[in-house]
């Protein structure tokens, strides 16, 4: 056995020498093969990039803390249980998302207190402050990899103010509630990446006391369905990308009207608490939805969704209508003195401008409100009323040069407090009339259709739209845009 003891080290030495020679031969070859590829041209592997903390804002100039950085949401599965007498809402929402960078921590927008969060079924650390829910996953999530985030939460939405001295946007009704507002409502009933830039699909399930109805966006998957003693659930689904502020829920005693139309299933809901006069005026107006969509699709191109309708809650404290996707919600106040078709035209025009094509940042709000207001003028023009040019001229005269109205340039209103300023609507519509006069009807309407169809389901900015008009018309519209959209003063003459 000793001989093998001597032969072993000699063999080992030989093997090492052979290995060294091989390495010496192969290394230069490898180096020469890899040399032409500059190291920097290879993207770093996402799996090895050091994890970072996701930004607590998506980058909106007017609302720096709106939305979050580091991930894109693909879908929301919102499940709530709501008790009207106490206004207590209990939620379990599952978010499917994809990280855009490796994250050691990220934020969701939620104002109701969260009790537990899991990321890919593993409990995560949470901290909640100022409308942000900070989530620290058990292990970093990697860029490009899908993740599932489940959030358990509960609270009383009407007790959570909209800001210092601002009441809660959550509206209680005599027998239920309605979640409807712009730009902030999501955080009062579900966790989200709360900015129009991150659109996603939605399923919304609500468990409520038996006998109540629940209306939300898109298709009714089921309801009322049994959901434990004394309760029923309603399930809704919106499969087209939707901005977070456009997701809504209305809970109460509703009469539901439905019928098939060539645009999809029409479903409208009227609160049984409305007075007979208001209910009648509301129905007379909202039931014209299919006809008005027919009218608008003749101008803007195909209706972008597969459901349509409207909701009129018994909510005396709701002072506006909102273009909730597929199914706008209307304050009963619009119908207090008879029918109002104009508001229906406005909210339905938003289905193209605002809902299907959403703002990139809130500073682009002219693309929503200027366009929906101009749709009202077009409706008037084509149903025997004054032309849009005449309406624009009347509005121009209504505001003298020293009126504050002209201080707000609709293409860049200046801040979050101004995005829903009247000037964004009225002067915004005048700006469209000015563009129409500058490029001619054919180019103008071709631009509106191209905007709605080419960007369906996505986002766009004011600059993007102006570039499109320039492209479609072949005309320079810089002067018109500067005068009507970006100058805080009254233009020298009415538009076109």
CB of 350 to Zn ion, least distance (A): 6
Question: Residue 134 or residue 369: which is nearer to Zn ion going by CB?
Answer: 369
Question: Residue 239 or residue 422: which is nearer to Zn ion going by CB?
Answer: 422
CB 133 within 8 Å of CB 108? yes
Closest residue to Zn ion using C-beta atoms: 372
Q: Sign of the C-alpha dihedral, residues 351, 353, 359, 364?
A: negative
CB of 368 to Zn ion, least distance (A): 6
Three-class SS state of 138: coil
Residue with tokens 């539901």: 256
* Count of C-beta atoms within a 10 Å radius of residue 51: 18
How buried is 121 (Cβ within 10 angstroms: 0-12 exposed, 13-18 middle, 19+ buried)?
A: exposed
CB of 184 to Zn ion, least distance (A): 16
Name the CA radius of gyration of the chain, rounded.
Answer: 28
Q: Which residues bind Zn ion (CB under 5 A)?
A: 369, 372
CB of 144 to Zn ion, least distance (A): 37
Question: Residue 93 or residue 326: which is nearer to Zn ion going by CB?
Answer: 326
Quote the CA–CA distance of 244 and 364 in Å, as a whole number: 17
Helix (H) or strand (E) segment spanning residue 374: helix 366-382
Question: Residue 103 or residue 392: which is nearer to Zn ion going by CB?
Answer: 392
Q: Sign of the C-alpha dihedral, residues 225, 253, 188, 258?
A: positive
CB of 204 to Zn ion, least distance (A): 23
CA 61 to chain centre: 17
CB 123 within 8 Å of CB 155? no
CB of 346 to Zn ion, least distance (A): 5
The phi and psi torsions of 450 (rounded to 5 degrees) equal -65, -40
Quote the CA–CA distance of 364 and 378 in Å, as a whole number: 22
CB of 452 to Zn ion, least distance (A): 16
The DSSP 8-state label assigned to residue 336 in this structure reads: T
Of 324, 364, 323, the closest CA to residue 60 belongs to 364
Question: Residue 168 or residue 373: which is nearer to Zn ion going by CB?
Answer: 373
Question: Residue 63 or residue 234: which is nearer to Zn ion going by CB?
Answer: 63
Question: Residue 373 or residue 459: which is nearer to Zn ion going by CB?
Answer: 373
Question: Residue 175 or residue 369: which is nearer to Zn ion going by CB?
Answer: 369
CB of 402 to Zn ion, least distance (A): 27
CB of 421 to Zn ion, least distance (A): 12
Quote the CA–CA distance of 356 and 246 in Å, as a whole number: 11
CB 264 within 8 Å of CB 308? yes
Question: Residue 89 or residue 246: which is nearer to Zn ion going by CB?
Answer: 246
* Alpha-carbon separation of residue 244 from 198, 235, 345, 349 (angstroms): 8, 18, 22, 19
């Amino acid at each position: 056995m000793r001989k093998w003891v001597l032969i072993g080290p000699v063999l080992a030495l030989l093997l090492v020498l052979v290995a060294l020679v091989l390495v010496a031969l192969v290394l230069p070859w490898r180096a020469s093969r890899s040399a032409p590829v500059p190291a920097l041209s290879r993207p770093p592997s996402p799996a090895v990039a050091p994890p970072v903390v996701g930004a607590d804002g998506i980058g909106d100039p007017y609302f720096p803390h709106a939305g979050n950085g580091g991930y894109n949401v693909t879908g929301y599965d919102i499940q709530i249980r709501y008790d009207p007498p106490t206004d207590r809402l209990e939620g379990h929402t599952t978010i499917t998302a994809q990280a855009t960078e490796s994250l050691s921590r990220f934020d969701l927008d939620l104002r109701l207190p969260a009790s537990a969060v899991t990321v890919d079924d593993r409990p995560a650390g949470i901290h909640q402050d100022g409308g942000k829910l900070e989530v620290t996953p058990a292990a970093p999530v990697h860029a490009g990899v899908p993740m599932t985030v489940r959030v358990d939460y509960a609270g009383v939405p009407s007790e959570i103010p909209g800001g210092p001295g601002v009441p809660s946007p959550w509206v209680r009704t005599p027998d239920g509630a309605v979640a409807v507002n712009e730009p902030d409502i999501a955080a009062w009933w579900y966790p989200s990446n709360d900015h129009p830039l991150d659109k996603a699909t939605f399923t919304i399930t609500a468990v409520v006391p038996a006998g109540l109805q629940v209306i939300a966006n898109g298709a009714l998957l089921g309801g009322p369905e049994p959901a434990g003693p004394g309760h029923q659930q309603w399930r809704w689904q919106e499969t087209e990308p939707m901005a977070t502020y456009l997701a809504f829920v209305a809970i109460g005693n509703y009469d539901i009207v439905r019928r098939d139309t060539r645009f999809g299933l029409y479903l409208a809901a009227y609160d049984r608490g409305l007075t007979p006069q208001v209910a009648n005026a509301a129905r007379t107006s909202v039931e014209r939805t299919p006809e008005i969509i027919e009218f608008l699709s003749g101008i803007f191109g195909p209706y972008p969704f597969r459901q349509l309708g409207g909701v009129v809650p018994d909510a005396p404290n709701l002072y506006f209508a909102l273009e909730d996707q597929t199914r706008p919600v209307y304050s009963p106040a619009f119908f207090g003195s008879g029918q109002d078709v104009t508001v229906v035209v406005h909210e339905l025009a938003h289905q193209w401008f605002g809902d299907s094509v959403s703002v990139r940042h809130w500073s682009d709000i002219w693309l929503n409100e200027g366009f929906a207001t101009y749709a009202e003028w077009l409706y008037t023009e084509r149903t025997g009323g004054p032309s849009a040019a005449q309406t624009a001229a009347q509005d121009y005269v209504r505001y003298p040069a020293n009126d504050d109205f002209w201080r707000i340039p609709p293409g860049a209103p200046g801040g979050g407090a101004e995005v829903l300023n009247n000037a964004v609507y009225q002067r915004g519509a005048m700006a469209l009339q000015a563009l129409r006069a500058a490029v001619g009807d054919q180019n103008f309407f071709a631009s509106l259709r191209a905007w709605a169809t080419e960007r369906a389901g996505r986002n766009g900015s004011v600059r993007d739209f102006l570039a499109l008009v320039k492209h479609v018309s072949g005309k320079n519209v810089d002067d018109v845009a500067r005068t009507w959209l970006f100058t805080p003063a009254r233009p020298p003459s009415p538009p076109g």
